[in-house]
Amino acid sequence: MRAIDLDGSLALQPAIVAAARRDGGWIDAADLGSRLRLWTDAATMRDFGQRLHDAPAGGMPGAAVTFLGSGDFHHLTVPLMAAAAQPFTLIHFDNHPDWVRFAPRWHCGSWVNRALELPHVARVVTIGPCSEDLAWPQLKGANLAALSAGRLELYPWQHAPSRILGAFGDGPGHRVAGGRIQWRCVGDDWNAFVDELAARIPTEAIWITIDKDVLRPQDATTNWDQGAMPLSALTRAVETLAGHRRVLGVDVCGEYAPPRHRNLRKRFEAWTDQPRDAEPREVAVNARTNDVLLALLTAVPS
């Protein structure tokens, strides 16, 4: 198990610290945190990759579990996956699709496009969005081409149909009719959906990435607007998927960390997209949820 200390949020959770230190997987990257947070450049991503390589747990084989801190670091999923030795399907739990094409190349809201560029990623399956990112998605830079081509599937937990301009192909998670994307919302038939997905994933292996903002506020406190998925639904899905496919790795983000940006553009983005401060009593729920996830994920066979 690895914990990458980027923003101080994981250092406040004794169970995470103890598990990472026991496994030799505590990676101190606080000096890179502010440069990596929200978005970054290629040089800083190379620095991060070198930090992973030099750490005792760098390149850990098997179903390595990595905790990353805030969801502002979700783009770090890509270098974690880059060394995978076989084709896999990326299972992505998130309240946001993270598919924006006009954001900086290495951005927590655009990283799915980088994942789709990896030759061993056969498909990305995004599960759980409830956010307004799906309202008029084309105007917000959505990668609808990947959705139409079948490289990307998206299943909201709950969401109204999305208005679009033009037409493109249907897929397992959506139908296009009357200028709208009609989504297959999975909150009402969760167990059936999970069983169906586990049976038809096109690869023998999967990678699981979890942003805890997919969870309802009772189960997590994050820097972003949150979805409606109960923790029990998430654990049910992980257990089922791991029972049907080889899990190459898992990463988890979505802690709460106060935004402290020196960069003025990052400060403005945090002010507009992350307008609230969380109280310590709210943040305490993350440690309880992480205890559940840690017990579940470290038992997943490679």
DSSP string, 40-60: E-HHHHHHHHHHHHHSTTTT-
Q: Is residue 287 part of a domain?
A: yes
Count of domains for the chain: 1
Residues whose CB is less than 8 angstroms from the CB of residue 59 and which lie 6 or more positions away in sequence, other chains included: 52, 53, 83
pLDDT value, residue 132: 95
Residue 210 has pLDDT above 50, yes or no: yes
Q: Is residue 268 part of a domain?
A: yes
Residues 223-262 have pLDDT tens digits of 989 999 999 999 999 999 999 999 999 999 999 988 776 7
Q: How confident is the model at residue 63 (pLDDT cuts 50, 70, 90)?
A: low
Q: Is residue 186 part of a domain?
A: yes
Q: Is residue 41 part of a domain?
A: yes
> How much is the average pLDDT of 151-156?
98
Distances (CA, A) of 33 to 9, 117, 176, 280, 298: 11, 25, 41, 21, 25
Residue 141 has pLDDT above 90, yes or no: yes
Residue matched to tokens 């979805």: 227
> pTM to 2 decimals?
0.94
Which secondary-structure segment (H or E) carries 249?
strand 246-255
pLDDT value, residue 62: 43
Q: Is residue 302 part of a domain?
A: no
pLDDT value, residue 302: 67
Query: Between these two residues, 73 and 166, which has the higher pLDDT value?
Result: 73
What residues make up the domain containing 33? Answer: 2-297
Residue 147 has pLDDT above 80, yes or no: yes
CATH code, domain with 39? 3.40.800.10
Q: Is residue 76 part of a domain?
A: yes
How far is residue 8 CA from its own chain's centroid?
A: 19
Residue 268 has pLDDT above 90, yes or no: no
Q: How confident is the model at residue 135 (pLDDT cuts 50, 70, 90)?
A: very high
Distances (CA, A) of 159 to 107, 129, 132: 24, 8, 9
